[in-house]
Amino acid sequence: MTAPETLATPPTACLSGDDEHAKRTVTDLLGDLGWQPAWVEDMGDITTARATEAVILVVPHILRRHDFQPFAVSLAR
């Protein structure tokens, strides 16, 4: 999260929520950590959070297979 520019492929942060002000705040905080606006995907309202939360299920497997090297999920556009 704190050095997204060190990854070979730009990461994607998915935002879900019903509060637009809160999503802007999170986007600003990500920007403070070096995230580019194009790397932040607004998924829509809070009902979309369930899908992005499911991604966490693959994280431990990826970490173990790649010797705990930093990685991020990225949307190919």
Q: What is the DSSP string of 10-47?
A: ---EEEE-S-HHHHHHHHHHHHHTT--GGGEEEEESGG
And the tokens for 30?
């990500």
Q: What is the pLDDT of residue 1?
A: 78
Low-confidence ranges of the chain (pLDDT < 70): none
Give, in order, the Cα–Cα distances in Å from 2 to each of 17, 31, 47: 22, 10, 27
Q: What is the pLDDT of residue 47?
A: 97
Q: What is the mean pLDDT of the chain?
A: 93
